[in-house]
Structure 1
Amino acid sequence: ISLNGKAIANYEDKGCARTDTITATVAGTSVSSSTSLQVEAPGVSSIRFMSASPETIVLKGTGSADFPEVSQVSFKVVDSNGAPIQNALVNFSLSTATGGILLESTAVSGPSDTVTKSTGADGLVQVTVQSGTIPTPVWVIASTTDSTSKVITTQSIKLSISTGRPAQDRMSLAVETHNIEGLDYDGETVGVTVRMSDRLGNPVPDGTAVNFIASGAQIGATCQTEAGACSVDFVSSNPRLDGRIAILAYALGEESFTDLNSDNLYALSVEGPNFTDLGHAFLDTNENGLFDAGEQSIPYGSGNSSCVNRLSTSPSAPSVAGTCDGVWGQAHVRQSSVIVLSGSDAFVSPRSFSMSGECSARFSFLLYDENGNPMPKGTKIAATTTNSGFSSAVVSDDEVSDALWVGGTLHEISLRRTETTGCDASPPRTLPLEITTPKGNVTVINLAITN
């Protein structure tokens, strides 16, 4: 719209950095006029950190598809209006290169070493960071030059080289209760927890999978770690065997080694044979420490060497003999234990005691179930002195604790006769022992007491 013969329009620079031709035409006529404007290249105003993907990478040599060793770090260069700047040169460096961190696949020594890349049409530029062998936070430092030739700098956040795969000597298995009243009852549940750390004692990455198998009853198939730990439920059910159920937890990890030069790396020339050579894990159903026919094994690799390392042959980390490979590397890390499905009927041995003419005495006895296993944890033991001829009968350790060994639990009873003299002439007597399980099942056993 013209006013007093003048028409005014606004022109906006889109940052094209070229010559623009502007033409004005009078409506309804062929009258026009043109002029040219030289648009200067947009000026760099700032550089912004955009993302690190992923934000956590694992130690060099311990990565997998789920746990990468490389992160892509993105920055964006913009002008004063926030519009992207293309072809801006950006210099990158690292806050630390400890453990051999690589920047864009290049070895750098720290902030003084740089890698240069240019931005795309969207103003973005990416650089890769590859982990080293030492856990550490690391910043990517990015710098460019603004329109006044001033160097502007920013740095990444949220990037950490944290942890590695689980090591055999850093894995543990904890059973909430080893002896549960599950021989005669289905559905008795106990928690089983695995904790795993890498070779430096840091929790393994969240989401590390652990598998479980059992020789009887039921156990959760798998769990994924959070803060280095995860749990499954063991549930009493058939088959119950002899009441002793072997369980095995295993995960993909690495053989432990003695880091003789403290560089967090295994080198044959330095560490030599100082590592835990692991063969196939197996479920030691009969608890004899040997792999026998009919026992379940979890193959890994194709080794045929002897498994002589102390940890390789320990009951808690069983390896099938002759399946080690003599080479340090990746393996199934493992831990095993036994859960007892305790019966509800109690047995005692011995059941007769001699006081040898004394007015007071102490005796020890074993308490066990029908399979010779411990009674359920929480089982209570009490002696009844009413009309028994004893003034007191005190059972020490009168409640069964967490136990799993064959043969039951050892207890002691202190007796005092009602007589204070002439006890050598006291007649034989019977002392009732009342044993009550957590589910309220009561067994009364009469102990024979003689002189």
Structure 2
Amino acid sequence: MTVQLVDAAGVPISTLSGGQAGQVKVTLLDAKGNVAPNEVVKFTTDDTLLQFTPVSSTALTDASGVAVITVKPASVTAAGAVNIAVVATAGGKAVNGGINLAVGAAPLTLGTIKFVPERNGEILPAFGTALLQIPITTGNVAATTAPGLTINSLCSNDGTATLVPGALDKGVQSVTYTNRGCLRETDTITVSLGNFNQTVKINVGKANIGTIQFVGSDLANNAIVLRGSGGLGRKESSILTFRVLDQNSIGLPGVDVTFTATTTTGGLIVQPAKATSDATGNVTTTVASGTIPTPVRVVAQATRNGTTISGLSDSLIISTGLPIQKSMSLSADSYNIDGLGYDSAIAKVTVLMADQYGNPISDNTAVSFVTEGGAIATPDEGGCKTKGGGCTVDLKSQAFRPVNGRVTVLAYVQGIEDFVDENGDGVYSCKQPILANKDDPTPYRPLVDSCTPTTGERFSDQGDPFLNTGNHAIIRGNPGGNTLQRDKDPAKDRKYTSSLGDLPFPYNRTAYSVDGNQQWGLNYIWRETEIVFSGDEPTFIRQFANTDGTLRDWTAADGPVNIIAGLSGENCTNQVVYFRIVDVNNNPLPSGTTVTAGDADKVQPQSVSPNVIPATNRLGGTQHWVNIKKETNCVGGEFSIKTTTPRGKSVSSFLFKSG
């Protein structure tokens, strides 16, 4: 038996594809080599891949001993390898044969793609849809699947059109095309399947602008500093981002947007003045500060299809952000803490700063603190960083304690020296600057270059900061005076005097400079305050009221210190007693200490005024008075003064008697 697979022309083949038909040709000989006519030949195979004609799968050999049957793939999608087995009888003997072949699916073929109904040059408006139909056949039969089919367009690649496939029905693939505001005017759609490619064009319209939204800036607090005031964490410009949206609130690319500022005060500029939105509709510009502080907003505007839309940014604040000496202050919630005899008494020390226009300085400005006694700030910073123009640290009582109980706290920070803005341009102006880099052609930069007093605006030169430690002399026994050595010598007050223990900070020079460098610029500015480590043992010192209303300490010439004349006896009257209270160092008792009059006998002391020791570092303690009502019959009596500290220590040691 000889088995062959041939095509319609009789050419041997080994493959059948799609709707292609072939013939299985069998030649049958008997044992002697003679042809075997009129013998039945039976064909069998995998009927999921192939089918025979006739369907009986049998054929009769002709006079030449040849039997032929037609075979083709079971479907246009059938694919695989298969064997055709052949069985026959020749000369009374069974004969077997067969042949192997490959079955391939019929190739997919594209028909003519078109829009239904046809567009005929009609413009598809933004967000309009059109139906595209793609005929697909396989072996001249309508395809039921279309693997490898790809559809795209220029606008869909831009993100301004979508192509959404629908069902493949009766060999036609439907695709919904949506114009999402394509800017190309004409879109080219390409369909590919295997080796087939087809294109079709459609005219499209641009989308109208729905709105322009302000997205935000690269700033955390919407504030930039004046031109020339940058550095130290401060920015002179801000990047603003807007988003152009269509009527469906989808980002609209390719839109030209112009930017203008609501003010150009001080030379403020917006660059670029025009930009084009990106694929997501975002567009950016930069605001650069001028030389005068001002609030500003930026207007973004665009026109499309005859419609103009505008968007407005949030308000930006233009200020220096640099502290100036005149606007720096230092304060404490208590200037007299119970720290002479105790550790860990706390005074909260607050520094506040502003720029030359009174605006709070930039957040996170670092402030350094030093003190001659106790401990200040935290171990991780040794100072504080500003928030909202100020910051607070703790001064804690501990060793070292100055012998007079008076502790100086110094706060210093890099800032600018006081100046008079004579031309009103918002920055220090200089006609002949001293350039930091002589080869740099950049115009005068106030915080980089320097200026002498004769060529620039008037300014107050700032000397080096120093810790004003005052007089360390021991003040014991309450000498009756209210002044220290420094107070007696006004020339030394708040002046660097090394003989009195003053310490320069920071150590940025070979020698301390009282008068500064005679140049305006960035420098250390500072403030100091004095906080008392108060004792809790009071001394009561009676005072005499002068006719002019002033008070002085009681003397022997005024009579016995504890006798209140006129409070008893003939023609007695109500009296007022004046006194001051000091600790062992002639300083105030701790703030919050209460002062009361009690232990009264036959007289009626009223409430002491003030009845609480205030927050004060006044040398000589605090002054008080109390009204005493006489006994009805002018009988002599007595009462005492008592203090109670916030820690609860009470002392009653000033006993007054009527006389």
Same fold (TM over 0.5): yes
The structure 2 residue matched to 1:198, chosen from 355, 366, 369, is 355
Summarize the Cα distance change of 1:342–1:20 in structure 2 as closer, same or farther, 3 Å threshold. same
Summarize the Cα distance change of 1:446–1:228 in structure 2 as closer, same or farther, 3 Å threshold. closer
Aligned pairs for 1:202-217 (under 5 A) are 202-217=359-374
Matched, 1:260 2:422: yes
Q: Distance in 2 between matches of 1:383 and 1:122?
A: 79
Deviating more after overlay: 15-24 vs 343-352: 15-24
SS for the counterpart of 1:8 is strand
Whether the 8 Å contact between 1:100 and 1:132 is mirrored in structure 2 is yes
Q: Distance in 1 between matches of 2:207 and 2:285?
A: 23
Matched, 1:138 2:296: yes
The structure 1 residue matched to 2:405, chosen from 233, 239, 243, is 243
Residue in 2 that maps onto 1:406: 619
Name the amino acid aligned to 2:190.
I
Q: Distance in 1 between matches of 2:642 and 2:274?
A: 82
The structure 2 residue matched to 1:285, chosen from 462, 466, 469, is 469
Name the amino acid aligned to 1:372.
N
Aligned pairs for 1:410-429 (under 5 A) are 410-412=623-625
How far 1:40 moved relative to its partner?
Answer: 5.2
Q: Distance in 1 between matches of 2:371 and 2:172?
A: 92
Name the amino acid aligned to 1:290.
K
How far 1:411 moved relative to its partner?
Answer: 3.7
Identity of aligned residues (%): 31
1:235-291 CA-partner distances (Å, limit 9, x unpaired): 222222121111122233222223334433322569956323212212111264233
How far 1:183 moved relative to its partner?
Answer: 1.0
Residue in 2 that maps onto 1:45: 209
Matched, 1:173 2:333: no
**Structure 1: gaps of 5 or more residues:** 106-114, 305-319
Q: Distance in 2 between matches of 1:200 and 1:271?
A: 23
Aligned pairs for 1:374-385 (under 5 A) are 374-382=588-596
Q: Distance in 2 between matches of 1:391 and 1:150?
A: 91
Deviating more after overlay: 63-72 vs 46-55: 46-55
Summarize the Cα distance change of 1:380–1:56 in structure 2 as closer, same or farther, 3 Å threshold. closer
How far 1:372 moved relative to its partner?
Answer: 1.7
Residue in 1 that maps onto 2:587: 373
Name the amino acid aligned to 1:176.
D
Aligned pairs for 1:5-154 (under 5 A) are 6-11=172-177, 15=182, 17=184, 20=188, 22-23=190-191, 34-37=198-201, 43=207, 45-46=209-210, 47-54=212-219, 55-77=222-244, 82=250, 84-86=252-254, 88-104=255-271, 115-146=273-304, 148-154=305-311
How far 1:336 moved relative to its partner?
Answer: 1.1
Residue in 1 that maps onto 2:650: 442
Q: Distance in 2 between matches of 1:217 and 1:357?
A: 42
Matched, 1:230 2:387: no
Whether the 8 Å contact between 2:565 and 2:658 is mirrored in structure 1 is no
Q: Distance in 1 between matches of 2:311 and 2:534?
A: 64
Whether the 8 Å contact between 1:342 and 1:374 is mirrored in structure 2 is yes
Which has the larger Rg?
Answer: 2
Q: Distance in 1 between matches of 2:522 and 2:422?
A: 19
- TM-score under structure 1 normalisation? 0.76
Whether the 8 Å contact between 2:384 and 2:391 is mirrored in structure 1 is yes
Alignment size in residue pairs: 414
Matched, 1:159 2:303: no
Matched, 1:331 2:497: no
**Structure 2: gaps of 5 or more residues:** 1-143, 145-167, 432-453, 472-485, 487-493, 543-553, 568-574
Whether the 8 Å contact between 1:258 and 1:271 is mirrored in structure 2 is no
SS for the counterpart of 1:348 is strand
- In angstroms, what is the RMSD of aligned CA positions? 4.0
Residue in 1 that maps onto 2:79: none
Summarize the Cα distance change of 1:160–1:398 in structure 2 as closer, same or farther, 3 Å threshold. closer
Name the amino acid aligned to 1:212.
F
Whether the 8 Å contact between 2:464 and 2:514 is mirrored in structure 1 is no
